[in-house]
Amino acid sequence: MTSAAVFAAVFAALYAAHSFGDHWIQTHGQACAKGAPTRSGRLACLGHVCTLALTKTLALGAMTVVTGLALAPLPLILGLLVDAASHYWADRRAPLAKLAALLGKSDFYRMGAPRPGTNDAPHLGTGAYALDQSWHVAWLFIAALIITGGQA
C-alpha cells in the first residue's frame, strides 16, 4: 500500500473515532465541566481526553486488523500523545478563546452563544464549537502525519 493510502486510512480512522468519541463517548458531566478553571474541570477534561484517546486507539487497531496495515509503535504513540495534548489544550476552552481573540476571531467565537440565564450548551452549534472542531481536525491531520511518517 502506498504511503498516501496509509495516511488516508489512518486519518479516516482518527477522524471517525474523534467524531464518535467527542460526541458519543464523552459524558455530559465532562462536557459541562471540562472548561472550568478548577481541579475538577481539569480532571473532567483529562477523563474526556483519555476516553477519546482510547476510542482512537481502538479505531486504529480495528483498521489495522481489517486492512492488514502495520503501524510502527513509537510514531503511533507519539501521534496519539500530540493529538491528546492538543485536544486537552483546546477543550479547556479559555486557551482557545484567547487564541481566537489573538487572531481577531472573538466575534466568530461568540457567535450563537446563549443568552445569559439560559440552560443552553454554548459549545454546541456556535462559533466556539466550529473553531473547536476545526482545531481538533487540524491536529488529527498532524497526528496522522506523525503516525504514518516514513511508512510505505
Long-range contacts (CB closer than 8 Å, 24 or more residues apart) made by 63-66: 63/9, 63/10, 63/12, 63/13
Query: pLDDT by residue (tens digit) across 69-123?
Result: 999 999 999 999 999 999 999 999 999 999 999 999 999 998 887 767 766 665 5
Report the pLDDT value the prediction gives residue 77, as an integer from 0 to 100: 97
Is the CB of residue 84 less than 8 Å from the CB of residue 53? yes
* pLDDT band at residue 10 using 50, 70 and 90 as cut-offs: very high
What pLDDT was estimated at residue 52? Answer: 98
Q: What is the pLDDT of residue 106?
A: 94
pLDDT tens digits, one per residue of 17-67: 999 999 999 999 999 999 999 999 999 999 999 999 999 999 999 999 999
Residue 2 has pLDDT above 70, yes or no: yes
Nearest to 85, CA basis, from 133, 132, 53: 53
